Amino acid sequence: MDILLIGGHGKVALLLAPLLAERGDHVDSVIRFSDQADAVRAAGAFPVVGDVEQASTEDLASLAAGHDALVWSAGAGGGDPMRTYAVDKDAAIRSIDAARAAGVHRYVMVSYFGSSLDHEVPAGSPFFPYAEAKAAADAYLRASDLAWTIVAPSALTLEPATGHIDADAPAAGSVSRADVAAVVAGVLADPSTIGKTIAFNTGDIAIREALAQA
């Protein structure tokens, strides 16, 4: 599978790329800065420098062309509300339109546990712009005709991979970034996850089994 990974220098993406490369997938990782290229190569992916915040739909479609799937793992990283909306909402939505324009039907969005248009995050909270942005992008993806999956982990940790999750938890807990990467790799290989939002914590069920039951 040829995969375009947007946000290729992120912590989850750098853990995801080796999993994909090891099973024979080709991964093009989109990064903002050329000095991030060595880390991407070391992870087994091919660096592509591009600023998705500034890229047009046409620019993103050119990047997506020829790939079998697009994975959105980019984010503004918080702090600046305007940039959060620009990246986590506007650029993400442009990438969805770009995937459609380029004929890339499979799309995996990395979101967060609880993302929803009725998220109930108070407007005065510093998390509010992110909650609004992700909810809008997720809703746009769900309304598209793409073969989408939304991966929605709870609070991220730097713990080692466990290979196990809980995809049936009623409330958010935490999960390692390594297990998030494994979930993204898993959904790309499992067409039964198409059209599903998979919200999860760390847990006791093997990832492959949890995805099959989601």
Which residue numbers are catalytic? 130
Instruction: List, for residues 137-181, the tens digit of each pLDDT value.
Output: 999 999 999 999 999 999 999 999 999 999 999 999 999 999 999
Is the pLDDT assigned to residue 32 strictly greater than 90?
Answer: yes
CA distance 55 to 174: 33
CA distance 34 to 125: 34
CA distance 15 to 181: 6
- pLDDT score for 78: 79
Mean pLDDT of the chain: 97
Q: Which amino acid is at 149?
A: T
Burial group, residue 191, by CB count within 10 angstroms (0-12, 13-18, 19+): exposed
Q: What six digits make up the tokens of 115?
A: 């993302």
CA distance 149 to 132: 19
CATH code, domain carrying 29: 3.40.50.720
Is the pLDDT assigned to residue 203 strictly greater than 90?
Answer: yes
Instruction: List, for residues 94-142, the tens digit of each pLDDT value.
Output: 999 999 999 999 999 999 999 999 998 999 999 999 999 999 999 999 9
| Overall number of domains in the chain | 1
Which residues does 106 contact at the CB level (< 8 Å), separation at least 6?
A: 68, 69, 70, 146, 147, 188, 194
Give the H or E element holding residue 110. strand 106-110
Task: Please give the residue range of the domain that contains residue 155.
Answer: 2-213
**Apex CA 87: angle with CA 131 and CA 154, to 5°?**
40
CA distance 78 to 174: 19
Give buried/exposed letters for 4-37 (b at 16+ CB in 10 A, else e): bbbbbbbebbbbbbbbbbeeebebbbbbbeeebb
| Structural contact between residues 48 and 30, judged by C-beta atoms closer than 8 angstroms | yes
Is the pLDDT assigned to residue 77 strictly greater than 90?
Answer: no
- pLDDT score for 79: 80
Percent of the chain with pLDDT over 70: 100
